């Protein structure tokens, strides 16, 4: 299990700022939109380790149901988002393929929580990701990334399919849209803050 900082600890603080800095993972299966979300939200030029997909990935990376995918993250994405005068988020996007799972432990170290992106048309591919996040003991929220033409599913059926706890936030978003992506991230931060308040009460 990877331990992380408590919300309020001055970890990952931007130089000279009196802010609580929080490390958040952006996770999900292959080609679900993690890099897009980090790029959409980051207030700084994001660090990206995307590489062009080659024939070496054929038969390994499942492109079924994926449209126009030509690159893939091979290490991580990194971005920063200031939510308020008091909270700044550092976003770490992780690769979605199973062959990169060994990198997750290092990336997850120090994270307070995770935003789990899912494709409503490929729910089964999210099971291993959620299991891994729970294995690391991280709290998380689910962001349902609706691509062009994807069916909007009932939240209750999504919760049942993913076997989620009642308190786990579920919110729809479009990783290409700044406002809806920010709402998804804020839902996670609110959830983490409320959990800390209950534990301290």
pLDDT one-digit tens code per residue, 165-198: 999 999 999 999 999 999 999 999 999 999 989 8
At residue 69, does pLDDT exceed 50? no
- Residue 148 pLDDT class (50, 70, 90 cuts): confident
pLDDT attached to residue 170: 97
Span 134-159, average pLDDT: 88
pLDDT attached to residue 175: 95
Q: What is the pLDDT of residues 99-135, one digit of tens each?
A: 566 777 788 889 999 999 999 988 999 999 999 899 9
Instruction: Let me know: does 192 contact 136? Beta carbons within 8 Å.
Output: no
Domains observed in the chain: 20-200 (3.40.50.300)
**pTM to 2 decimal places:** 0.78
pLDDT attached to residue 75: 57
Bin 59: left if φ > 0, else alpha if -120 < ψ < 50, else beta. Answer: left
> Regarding predicted confidence, which is higher, 83 or 167?
167
Residue 168's alpha-carbon distances to 1, 67, 68, in angstroms, are 20, 29, 31
Q: How many CA atoms lie within 13 A of 168 on its CB side?
A: 23
């Amino acid at each position: 299990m990877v331990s992380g900082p408590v919300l309020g600890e001055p970890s990952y603080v931007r130089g000279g700022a009196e802010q609580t800095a929080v490390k958040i993972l952006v996770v999900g299966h292959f080609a679900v939109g993690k890099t897009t979300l980090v790029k959409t939200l980051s207030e700084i030029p994001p660090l990206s380790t995307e590489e062009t997909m080659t024939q070496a990935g054929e038969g390994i990376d499942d492109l079924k149901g994926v449209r126009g995918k030509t690159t893939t993250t091979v290490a991580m994405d990194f971005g920063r988002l200031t939510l308020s005068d008091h909270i700044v988020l550092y976003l770490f996007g992780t690769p979605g393929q199973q062959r990169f799972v060994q990198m997750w432990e290092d990336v997850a170290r120090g994270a307070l929580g995770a935003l789990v992106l899912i494709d409503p048309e490929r729910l089964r591919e999210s099971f291993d990701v959620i299991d891994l996040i729970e294995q690391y003991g991280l709290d998380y929220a689910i962001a349902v990334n609706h691509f062009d033409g994807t069916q909007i599913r009932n939240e209750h059926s999504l919760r049942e399919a993913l076997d989620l706890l009642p308190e786990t936030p579920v919110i729809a978003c479009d990783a290409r849209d700044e406002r809806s992506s920010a709402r998804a991230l804020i839902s996670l931060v609110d959830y983490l803050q409320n959990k800390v308040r209950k534990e301290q009460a």
